[in-house]
Amino acid sequence: MADRGGRGRQRPKQWMPTLLRIWSYLAVHKRLLAAVFFMTAVSSTLGLLGPYLLGRAIDDYFVPGDYDGLAALILVLGAVYVAQGAAGWLQSFWMIGVAQRTVAKLRADLFDALHRLPIAYFTKRQHGELMSRMTSDIENVSQTLNGSFIQLVSSLLTFAGMLGLMIWLSPIMTLITLTIVPVMFAGMRWITSRTGRLFKETQRNTGALGGFVEETLSGQRIVKSFSRERAVIDAFMEKNARLRASAYWAQVYSGFIPKLMNMLNNMSFAVVAGAGGLLTLKGIVSVGIIVTFAEYARQFTRPLNDLANQFNTFLSAVAGAERVFEVIDEQEETVDERGARPIGTVKGEIVFDNVSFAYEPGVPTIEGVSFRAGAGEMIALVGPTGAGKTTIVQLLARFYEPASGRILIDGRDIRGITRESLRKAMGFVPQDVFLFEGTIRENIRYGRLDATDEEVERAAREANAHRFIMKMPQGYDTMLRQDGGGISQGQRQLLAIARMILADPAILVLDEATSSIDTITELHIQEALYRLMAGRTSIVIAHRLNTVRRADRILVLDRGRIIEQGTHDELMALSGFYAGLVRSGQRAVLAGAE
């Protein structure tokens, strides 16, 4: 995979590699980041200048009684704080721009990666869990870059600058102030060693819960049909409790951080005030320096306090970024072989030459499958569930690669054809039709995006969909809900056929299911399908005996092998497996879904 916007091949397992990956995205905006860092440095410097000027005011003007000079210095001090506020606003404004562009690029890379992954990747993962990475995980990164990142930089600069000034003003007072730092770091290390693991676990549990909810909502009809509401709720409560436990302890431990810092902050102030008072009485340091150090002592722990307060957000963002980069780094669909060329004009002859395939090693799905479909022929695939019908179609489209054997189209091995052109030459009408949220016209036009309104309507007429479309409230401009909610299963199938007519593929793959559809709609669908298949090479996973009778050749599959083939009459004359299915009237077995 080429390096796009910070992609690397090594999957991040620890926070440092993940931070470096995030930095590679940020580094694209070098000039704007330089301006942000400059304003951060200005704001931090001005913040340090305030307490120093306050100490000078006490020693140089207040104690000697020079109130004119004191008034002038107060005006300077006011200007310093106003300038600090302006610099802080600019750094935040520019950083928000950098953060949003960075997150937009990261989100685009993730979406791009999802479309480059093979079908097998999605069959093994919950869609809701993947959605969690696209939404909540990237949102965690966004929040950290918008606020926490610049605060971390500012805190580090403030800490370094303050330490330098303190050493310059009074080394002995600096040593006194630093006595609290070892305790601070020990407490931080104890806490963060636990919060890092807990925040990663929380992210995993969030993704698992999101995937379960998405799956349950999609399958509500099945849940209610089998009265499994109680079981689903119990499963949700178990996952929810697991998420609650990990989130609870992550927040509990991270909640120790600000409490620890506030306690140490007060202790530091007390130590500086007490020790400074004794040194002042002995004439070692001035009152102004003690005031300056008292303020610095409070500010000295503030950068560490800010770092600590942001650490839980930081850890959550790193955990989310790791999950995003895991998807980006997944092995994408195999690139086209060297020398692969577009398919060009397609006649439609298909040959399977001794093809074998297994989804899991050692468990073959199809073995030694060989057949030929002539250009314009209709081939019906029949057989029980798990016989290998859908697998043949998936291999033809190169969603998977054969373990052995060859697949040819017009005499060309499909491995020498670019995937994009191969799939454009094929049209798929699945059993479960998917429609996008949008107008009916837009859903039909998905078959060919440059089609005119007249071509869309012509395709709908050929698919027998025009009549029901015109009865809709806004006709072709009627908005459909996600996945075609609001129209019947039969109407969705008619729209899918219209979409395919508009695409005009040379090869048609049809999962011909008409269950739960009234007789009139079924007739309309059958008529539209026969019109669609005319002149095209068609491979049909047959569900209806009427369709099987019309096939030029029927392939009967069982346990991954073609056990019979021929026309309907030829297979009936054999009185074999196929004839037994037909005579027993087991339509469900004949059309078993994969």
Residues 173-206 have pLDDT tens digits of 777 777 777 777 776 677 666 676 777 778 778 8
CA-to-CA distance for 592 and 594, rounded, in angstroms? 7
User: Three-state SS for 336?
Assistant: coil
Exposure pattern of 67-78 as b/e (b: 16+ CB <10 Å)? eeeeeebeeebe
What values do phi and psi take at 63, rounded to 5? Answer: -65, -45
CA-to-CA distance for 124 and 127, rounded, in angstroms? 9
Token readout for 357 is 């395939």
Q: Which residue has the tokens 């005579």?
A: 583
User: How far is residue 484 from each of residues 30, 480, 489, 494, 495, measured CA to CA in Å?
Assistant: 46, 5, 9, 12, 10
- Identity at 441, one-letter amino acid code: R
Query: Looking at residue 7, what is its pLDDT?
Result: 37
Token readout for 225 is 């049909």
Token readout for 159 is 């800490």
The β-bridge partners of 378 are: 538
Among 338, 318, 213, 198, smallest CA distance to 256 is for: 198
Query: Looking at residue 483, what is its pLDDT?
Result: 62
Among 131, 121, 109, 319, smallest CA distance to 208 is for: 131
DSSP 64-106: TT-HHHHHHHHHHHHHHHHHHHHHHHHHHHHHHHHHHHHHHHH
Token readout for 490 is 């039969």
User: pLDDT 10s per residue in the chain (594 long)?
Assistant: 333 333 333 333 567 788 888 888 888 888 888 888 888 888 878 877 777 777 777 767 666 666 677 777 788 888 888 888 888 888 888 888 888 888 888 888 888 888 788 777 777 776 767 777 887 788 888 877 877 677 777 777 777 777 777 787 777 777 777 777 777 777 667 766 667 677 777 877 887 787 777 777 766 666 766 667 788 788 888 888 888 888 887 777 777 766 776 677 677 777 777 776 777 777 677 766 777 777 776 666 666 666 666 666 777 778 788 888 888 888 776 677 777 888 888 888 999 999 999 988 888 899 999 999 999 999 999 888 788 888 998 899 888 889 999 999 999 999 999 888 888 888 888 777 778 888 889 889 988 888 899 999 999 998 888 988 998 888 999 888 766 667 888 888 888 889 888 888 889 888 765 555 666 777 777 788 888 888 889 898 876 777 788 889 999 998 899 999 999 989 999 988 888 878 775 444 454 434
CA-to-CA distance for 225 and 50, rounded, in angstroms? 71
Q: What is the DSSP letter of 145?
A: I
Token readout for 261 is 């810092």
- Identity at 79, one-letter amino acid code: A
Q: What is the dihedral of CA 7, 9, 11, 17, to 10 degrees?
A: -60
Strand 366-373 with 350-357, pairing: antiparallel
Query: Looking at residue 407, what is its pLDDT?
Result: 93
Query: Looking at residue 72, what is its pLDDT?
Result: 77
User: How far is residue 185 from each of residues 179, 188, 257, measured CA to CA in Å?
Assistant: 11, 5, 11
CA-to-CA distance for 98 and 28, rounded, in angstroms? 9
Query: Looking at residue 79, what is its pLDDT?
Result: 86
Q: Which residue has the tokens 């398919």?
A: 343
Q: Which residue has the tokens 């006649």?
A: 347
pTM over 0.75: no
Q: Which helix (H) or strand (E) holds 540?
A: strand 537-541
Query: Looking at residue 258, what is its pLDDT?
Result: 67
- Strands of the sheet containing 426-429, edge to edge, are 426-429, 507-511, 537-541, 378-382, 553-558, 561-566
